[in-house]
Chain A
Amino acid sequence: MHTDPIPTPAAPNRLTRFRGLMRQLSLAADTTRALDETLYVSFPGAAGAKIAGRLELRPSSTHLLVGGVGSGKTTELLEIRRLLASSDDTKAFYLDATRQHDISKLVPGAVAVQVALEIVTFLRALARARGAQITAQQERALSEVERLAKGYWFDPDDYDERDDNHPLFYRDGILVAPEQVTGRVEEVRDALLGALGLAGLEGVSYVALVDGLDRLNDISAFKQVVDEDIKALTSAGVGVVLAGPLRCLYRADRVISEEFEYFTFQPWRDPGADAVTAALLRDLICRRLPADALDSSAAEKLVRFSGGVLRDLIALAQLACEEAYLGGANTVAIAHVDTAIDAFGRKHVLGLQDDEIQILERVRVSGSFVHTSDKELTLLMTRRVLEYAEGAARRYVVHPTIEHLLRQLNPEASP
């Protein structure tokens, strides 16, 4: 038995090492932190760089960004913020519109007032940083936005401060009890204009990067945001980049995209399309798992079976890494990737109904896919079917992790 003190391990042990690798394999961008440039990979025609360039030229322009789940929309919004951060005359804010408001209760103003709150918070912080005194007039202008957002007490008749018995009424804020409130987006715009006019920052443009509304199932609610809030913000001179639901791409809902000056589709990246795309996807994963942690053939396989869905690529790598850890290995090898692919695919087919399997089988065998009903749209939303952009044309495949499972279900079909 040893009696001398037990030392701290000289080198990081396996668990510490694997935890470090897992930290790099988080599945959702951490929006509270700056985008980690060492992990970001810019694909040719990347939405972030394209939109940021347009905003530099036209800061008050409007943009709709649409893409499938896990295609990297949030990451591109954060990239726009990073790219615009060095600009002297444009200030970009990222905000997730679902954090302060239940988007199942969207009312006119619910998004605009959140953007206005961000700008007011910035203006207050700026005044503090400059040591500037906020005058009573300025304070009223800034507070108006906060009052609209969060609610306030008021007197329907002129309030007399000396009359303690005079009844006061509470007016709900836009972000509270929204079902009782209508038509207040114009008030938000006027309040915002008042706050901006007093800021003494002539020449500065504001850009709101609005995330979260891509999760809206109710397309009429999304249209209301576009018709009311986005118009109000642009009329106040604020540029907007809005992440929208995937269904804006299809059928009658396409008309929504025409209300924006620019429309950007963030596609999944077909790893088989060209060597550049495959290399960039490989780069994305190798930035998270260095060469001593990931076998190169395992990296190739991860890329191929991710279908170019960035979140799925990281998810597959995460499970492969877990398997390597549990199996006592120090490097993620093909066998670990195979286990991850099979597990992902089996999870992906869980609960599929017979008619959905038929559609998937048709896509697998012939690439034929027509999204005429919500059923097809759901298969796209859940990434069982992947859509790739080839110029103006679209190509459809089933997610590579479920191909072999579909083949097992229908062994007589070709190929």
Chain B
Amino acid sequence: MSGLIRVGAAEVAVRLQALSAATNTFVAIIAPVLLVELVVDEIVEELRCRFPATRSVPDDGSVQPLLAAVRDNPLTPLVARGDRFGAGEWATLDRRRSSLEREGVTVFVATEASFAELARSAPNLASLFGANVFAFDPQAEETTAAQGAQRLEALRVGSGRSDQDIIDAAEARTLPSDPEYGEWLVLLGRGDLLGGE
């Protein structure tokens, strides 16, 4: 594709977890035309392990559902399709950039062509993506899995606890709510034990 950093859904979730304290954060995931819907679903599913309230923005090809979702969900991560937006839609979002600014992260899944149109028609909005523009690659998950295993080992060594200790404590609702333990559960595939966002 374009030499962009390649990510899978799990890595998107890890990156967003680190980014979640920044305000006005926008991330673009570039996907092949035919896979956009699938990629949205995968990312939403993965994000929900860490941010259970994550929402997928309904897609009717217009910007209205996105503006409504942003207005109604100031903190929640949102995942929106940008592949059907043309110059007009992006220009509208550029003028209404202030209405898109919020605490929660907004992820756009777009094609290379639609992102190029965004850069051309919405320079103000495009500048808020910064360098957070990635190419979707399902095979990138293997790297993420290796990083996850490394991180799990570091958590075990750092705390002197086993995975089972953490699961037991979570089930008994005695696990402190620190992000470190949340991350541990997610890496174990037990995001279901997280109490809330």
Residue numbers of A with Cβ under 8 A of B are: 1-2, 5-9, 13-16, 18-20, 22-23, 25-28, 30-31, 69-70, 96, 98-99, 102-104, 212, 214-217, 311-312, 314-316, 318-319, 321-322, 325-326, 328, 339-340, 342-344, 346-348, 350-352, 378, 381-383
Contacts and interface: CB of A to CB of B under 8 A. Distances in A.
Given A103-B95, A215-B124, A322-B19, A342 B3 contact: yes
Nearest to B181: A6
B194 interface: no
B24 A30 contact: yes
B6 to A, nearest CB: 10
A28 B101 contact: yes
A31 B23 CA distance: 11
Interface residues of B, number: 65
B195 interface: no
Contacts of A9: 159, 176, 178, 180
Contacts of A6: 159, 161, 165-166, 169, 174-176, 181
B131 A347 contact: yes
A378 to B, nearest CB: 6
A350 to B, nearest CB: 5
A215 B94 contact: yes
Nearest to B114: A351
A26 B3 contact: no
Nearest to A217: B91
Contacts of B95: 98, 102-104, 215-216
Interface of B: 2-5, 11, 14-15, 17-25, 30, 91-92, 94-99, 101, 112-113, 115-117, 119-120, 123-124, 126-134, 147, 150-151, 154, 159-162, 164-166, 168-169, 174-176, 178-181, 183
B115 A351 contact: yes
A315 B131 contact: yes
B14 A326 contact: yes
Contacts of A316: 130-131
A371 to B, nearest CB: 15
B130 A318 contact: yes
Contact of B98 (A2, A98, A318): A98
Given A346-B3, A378-B120, A311 B130 contact: yes
Contacts of B91: 217
A343 B151 contact: no
Contacts of B134: 343
B24 A16 contact: no
5 contacts: A13-B180, A15-B17, A215-B94, A316-B130, A325-B18
Contact of B5 (A31, A103, A343, A351): A343
A104 B17 CA distance: 36
